[in-house]
Structure 1
């Protein structure tokens, strides 16, 4: 009977025992399987982090499992300590370093607005935050205090993209208060560039003496004359009586020797605040003794640099003899014109003796490359760099191929493109343009290079006999990051042979040029964001009939503007090519 009972018990073994037996059996079976046939696979669910956040946010919204309440000006924000500590080093330190807040159920948050606190708590659980003009500065302050780096950077980026005349001073102060260096530099540059539109504003007149002196003392202050800087200082002085105590520091930043003696005598010297402060009187006396002295270096100046020249006779006559005489001396004359003083200054002579060379600006240097020497019937590979600071020329590594108007002697419609590295002094090839272009206009915008218009020899592209010229209105863009050329929206007009381009306020402007039948007087503007062209104006009648090219001013890092003007007898260009 007992044996039967034992047998029945063994037959009625528990599920757990059966599971253990099956596991033992599995191990016995697997022992006979070669290790090489067993593989390990890693399973990963991409949506898991999002689902975890969504689950934690549901718990927060239902006040479930929350172990801390953030109290901010009467508003409560139930949260989970481990969530706060995971997205903010401020909270991580608060909850893990033995501070009393680590055990408190309610934690008071000082120095943070309730709206910003709510936005950051929501960001901790959703990875999303809504930024607007109304909340960006308070949100930046809160994210800076709580060390939420991603939101802090997002606020800085937002303000950089939305800066304008009305908010630039506030943005500068906000960036300075929270040590946002890039935003501070960007806003300061904007203030200096648009100073004449800003210095009347309440925000500027309310600045501290430290910030006013930083602005007025900058070499980059964009003003047509120094008198305007003094007028800004006077408006700031009259804004608040306490400003009189610091006026000497402000006056010291003004280039008084650059102000006319009559203005110093009739306006500046007669002010009570100047008479009251000995330091101010000393500045005035020194300025009167050294009017327009060079030691008081001027602010940024708009300077036009011209390269090459033609006499009136050479413009009217187009004989081969006259052209050759002009070309022999054309490459030597380099001059600059200062609109503020209406004076011309002769610069270091250009070593090139060629014509139809290319000019480009990079950093504080001007680069001249290629060209054509008609007297020797050859194209050039030479490249030279002009140093504005030293007024000197330096010969650099030559190009890989000869170019004039950026074409080669045997292939006048070259699509080949090369780049030059100033640090290594090495030329390298990059992908060719999609369209073969002769005499295109080229400019740079937002780190990309645009090739605009030009002339296309259709027979070269399609390998057919006979001349077949196509005047292009096409535009293509090269992105150095992707190393690719892409087509953009075409211009409204076909343009080649002397059309000029420039970048102004984030847009590309194209002026002049011609098609098969006539020269153009219209001005077109390209919007990169919309990828559209529109006609925005017209040149004065006759400007496009003057041989040569002109370009919109280009800003140099040393605060000069250069017009990379290269004389080029466009009407005779086809004859020279043959």
Structure 2
């Protein structure tokens, strides 16, 4: 018998393998099963199980080892402990026969005719592995036949993860399933619509989803045509290629509502710079979720490490040329929507740059945007959510005599993504660099750094606020500790300042392990937990998610992803992520997970 690709794939459940006996009958094998010396039905059997009118012989020690139900029965003071025959009222002969095979041999054969019997026995005897095998079979073979019955089984036998497993199976195998002869005929509208509503990674393009809907409707047009528009509403048209949007089937465009959605998608492609302002789900790849994104873009490597917050697993993705033409280590960064911007820093000529590039986490590539008005490096930047602000910095360039010089900048400018334009704002009170900035309720806050004013300490404790309403700067209470190249994060109307460098007192800089927080309402600074020395130097770029600030710390040439627990005011050491890594951000990213 020829096998399909579905039959050839490995079982996704650890410790489980399967063999197709027929198209719908599968033998599941527990690869971690401890071999049983006793033989089923041999002369050493010491207990009988009565199920209906049928009696089964077994061994108490085998039953106790395989099932918590029997372990409790034979070890506690229960009446069945001393009985030679135990009557089982809530399972079928088929169910007990299959489960005894598993108890003695570590495998079970399941088909659609007995799945309910096996589920009933597995739940009754508390055999989790067998429940997983049943769930795997249901996902693989019963979903298309009767989705509603599957949901009933899931509810009856408390298969809490079954629905998620169904959608994962569909997402992983949708292109193979769609080629099966009766796929569209058996696929219910409930399953199809719920699958499309799930935000789950699918390894096909969005055009495939649209044509799958059309094929499903065409299979039984008279009874299904009423579902066409509701299903098309679930298609993410902005993810289509522009030429696909220009050549859609007429039946897709029969509705004004869908035509408007298509026009919106075209505008998304036409106005490239404004894409970062589109944050709704339909503009993001299916399966996108918030992940800590640790980036390294250099001549040596282009790599991204993804880590879901509060989970230990990481995914590393190696990329080819991504289009970035800046020294990523020295560029400032800011996020608008779900796009990261690399700003200025050093260009390929090793002088200050005014160029700006935007990273698209869907396509994993950089696109050049409008350049800043001034070339700058070592400057502060921040995002308001829909705009980017940059402050001061240094213009490292050649003067008219061909000599390299540094000019400390006092200029400030703002980037408008929709117009793809930079607008100059009023200058800083004093030029400065290595500062940190944050946007809070139509105000900009600037802290620390190194000033061009020789009267200021190096580095500074000075802090300033800029009102976007009145376009004026004013000084505010200074930090408790002088610092530069530090991070500053807005959390619940407070600015958390972590890391950076401070003065050694001998004309050099050392790591700053002191940290502090500014309460915007009371206008007061307070000390918070110091950074453990073992975490090393904490870099400028950090990200915040669910009361945790994630930071990159470098010690002895190794970079690790650490965290600061805001509620408990405590730093936690994290895992190694690589060398020469400086940037981290929180992006919604889609990628396959086994």
Q: Say whether the fold is shared (TM-score over 0.5).
A: no
Structure 2 length-normalised TM: 0.40
Alignment TM-score, normalising by the size of structure 1: 0.41
The structure where helix makes up a greater share of residues is: 1
Report the structure, 1 or 2, having the larger strand content.
Answer: 2
Query: Based on CA coordinates, which of the two structures has the bigger radius of gyration?
Result: 1
